[in-house]
């Protein structure tokens, strides 16, 4: 799912900034796609570790942290919303926030 972006040799600073912006947008779009695919399967909300697990199954190349970070970023853009509940995290020792598509 993820795409490897490279910087230009001629102007590495602005090129790196452009790659960072593009990577941020692409990772956010990928997380939205994960939620859409889950919704098509009848799943209306996902915990962050479930986003990561589904992303891995779908072939995401983004890091687990990048996929998790997209949830609050997309909440600020009004694409995702935080559910008023928690589920056990992947290790069972912590609670995980649950997210759903805002539309």
Q: Please give the pLDDT value at position 92.
A: 84
**What would the two tokens of residue 4 be?**
């490897």
Structure confidence at residue 15 as a pLDDT band (50, 70, 90): very low
Q: Please give the pLDDT value at position 46.
A: 97
Class of domain 12-101: mainly alpha
Exposure string of 59-92, with b = 16+ CB inside 10 Å and e = fewer, is ebebeeebbbbbbeebeeeebbbeeeeebeeeee
Question: What is the arithmetic mean of pLDDT over 62-73?
Answer: 94
Percentage of residues in the chain having pLDDT higher than 90: 69
Q: Please give the pLDDT value at position 64.
A: 93
For the stretch 68-103, pLDDT in tens is 999 999 999 999 999 999 999 888 889 999 999 997
For the stretch 32-51, pLDDT in tens is 999 999 999 999 999 999 99
């Amino acid at each position: 799912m993820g795409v490897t972006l490279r910087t230009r040799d001629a102007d590495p600073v602005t090129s790196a900034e452009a790659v960072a912006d593009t990577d941020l947008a692409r990772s956010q779009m990928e997380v939205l796609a994960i939620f859409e695919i889950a919704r098509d399967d009848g799943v209306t909300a996902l915990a962050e570790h479930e986003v990561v697990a589904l992303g891995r199954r779908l072939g995401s190349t983004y890091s687990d942290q990048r996929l998790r970070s997209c949830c609050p970023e997309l909440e600020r853009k009004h694409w995702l919303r935080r559910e008023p509940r928690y589920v056990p995290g992947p290790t069972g020792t912590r609670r995980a926030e649950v997210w759903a598509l805002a539309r």
